Amino acid sequence: MFRCLLILACAALLAGCAPLLETDQARLCRMALPAIEDGDAAIRILKQTAFADGRGLRVDYLAGAPGETLTPHFAECRFLAPGRPRKSQDLISVVTDRGQLSDYQLATLIRFWLATSEARANDPLPLAGAESVWSAPKSLAYGLQQAINGLPLAAIYALLAAAYSLVYGLVGRINLAFGELAAAGGYAASFGVLLAAGYAPAAMLVLALLLAISTASAFGVASGRLVFAPLHRASGQQALVATVGLSLFLQEFLRLTQGGRLHWVNPILNEPFALLRAGDFFVAATPIAFLIGAFALAAAAALLAIMKWTRFGRQWRAYADDPIAAEMFGVNPRSIFAKTFALASAFAGLSGFVMTIYYGGVGYGASTTLGLKALIAAILGGIGSIPGAFLGGLIIGAFEAAWSAYLPIDYRDVAVFSLLAVLLVLRPGGIMSINAFTPRR
């Protein structure tokens, strides 16, 4: 598993070498252009290039009066520090092809233009590619937008649900601390982004990914040896109570070591672009949303291949089906147990990585809800079935996106937990329970 993830990480590292374009820096610089040019000038953005130190960018554009030929210009905006500007005053310099703005001009620009809602409305490039996208019926465009919105949620739930299914499928125990392991991976991912600030997006993503996996795996292996291994002969209720205690311990540990506030990271590859339009409604997406979807799909395919064709997968299936017979044929229970916990914890870390990179923040407080929803996804697909876990994550992500689009979002979590109750009544084993392994004592 780690070899496959390392290959994916190296491929991502080779995929991008350009400096990171900070979205809010680019937006402020573009917003300044209507004030620099004549009031009725037409402006068309050609290119946006970030500075190597991360403290600004250059915007190349065409501008001209209506009906006249557009001429090329540029503006270079420099900011107080790398990363997201907290206020308009962080813009400290604007240099154009006509010269540099004086301190008075810059102060006037910030105070009487950038701080107004009119400036935001006149951004020359609020949505890249909006002028050349295809038209579609409004229902199709709106449905596609909600599918894109649900893609990251489905990836988070599916990866974490796979962690539940790996452990339950082997020993018939549910580890309620996987949400906290995902949060630990998310904290590590935010630290990786901070360490690689100013480098290419691929380098930031790779470092965050490796730290998230290694941190969650370390926590998972330690909890497996210290909590689950001594209770392998205990009843299911005793093991479940132990995981509740482990969950509370990890929550408090994360709170004390990382603080009570959310950890925020700079946006990565989140410049929106248009896909379709329906009248004045545009279907928008970001590169990071598709990258996360492709990554989750690759991780799911890698796990399914491991479980089907590797020695570990054969041993896991044999031990899940009949532990005594598997031991008689040479399967080491301690080894398969440790590898399963490491792999499951790595997938919990992957879930935390996706959550942090896409939403830009991580905190210990959301770990319980995240873990319970992923558990619902695992039960929905068929607890113990790894393909079912991925299917359940996809369904829960789509359900939340659809509910948020058409119904009050305040009741979304109530609806998700109600879905679990209905499922347990109608199909207790889940959708793919017929293919799931049923561990024996």
Contacts of residue 367, defined as CB under 8 A and 6 or more positions apart, other chains included, come to 179, 180, 182, 183, 247, 250, 251, 254
CATH assignment of the domain containing 221: 1.10.3470
pLDDT at 74: 93
Predicted pLDDT of residue 235: 66
Whether 90 maps to a domain, the answer reads yes
In terms of pLDDT, which residue wins out, 125 or 167?
167
pLDDT at 58 over 90: yes
Enumerate helices (H) and strands (E) in the chain, giving the number of each.
15, 10
Sheet holding 281-285, edge to edge: 134-135, 273-278, 281-285
Rounded mean pLDDT, 267-277: 82
Q: Is the pLDDT of residue 95 over 90?
A: yes
Q: 49 and 164: one domain?
A: no
Kindly tell me if the per-residue pLDDT of 128 is higher than 80: no
Q: Which residue, 67, 92, 121, sits at the end of a domain?
A: 121
pLDDT on residue 309: 92
Measured between alpha carbons, how far is 273 from 179 in angstroms, rounded to an integer?
32
The reported pLDDT for the residue numbered 61 is: 92
- Res 341 pLDDT > 50: yes
Q: What is the pLDDT of residues 27-37, one digit of tens each?
A: 899 999 998 88
pLDDT of amino acid 131: 65
Residues 264-292, mean pLDDT to the nearest whole number: 84
Where a domain ends, among 93, 121, 149? 121
Confidence of residue 236 (pLDDT cuts 50, 70, 90): low
Domain total in the chain:
2
Verify that 97 and 168 share a domain, yes or no. no
| Domain-located, residue 10 | no
How much is the average pLDDT of 84-89?
A: 84
In a domain, 111, yes or no: yes
Can you give the pLDDT at residue 437?
A: 44
Do 298 and 338 fall within a single domain?
yes
Give the residue from 79, 72, 73, 71 showing the smallest Cα distance to 50.
Answer: 79
Q: Do 74 and 144 fall into the same domain?
A: no
Q: CA 420 to CA 431: how far, in whole Å?
A: 12
Torsion-angle region of 383 (φ positive above 0: left; ψ -120 to 50: alpha; else: beta): beta
Same domain for 172 and 224, yes or no, is: yes
Q: What angle do CA 305, 161, 268 make, to 5 degrees?
A: 85
pLDDT in the model for residue 136: 85
Same-domain pairing of 290 and 214: yes
Tokens representing 107 are: 């102060």
Q: 97 and 152: one domain?
A: no
* 203 and 289 together in one domain: yes
The 10s digit of each residue's pLDDT in 394-428 is 989 888 888 888 888 888 888 888 888 887 787 77
Position 189 scores a pLDDT of: 92
| Domain range for 244 | 138-435
pLDDT of 345 strictly over 60: yes
Q: pTM, whole model, 2 decimals?
A: 0.79
Return mean pLDDT, the chain: 84
Residue 91 and residue 39 in one domain: yes
The confidence score (pLDDT) of residue 188 equals 93
> What are the tens digits of pLDDT across the range 354-378?
999 998 888 888 788 888 888 888 8
User: What pLDDT sits at residue 322?
Assistant: 85
* pLDDT, tens digit, 9 for 90 and up, residues 168-210: 888 788 888 898 999 999 999 999 988 887 777 888 899 999 9
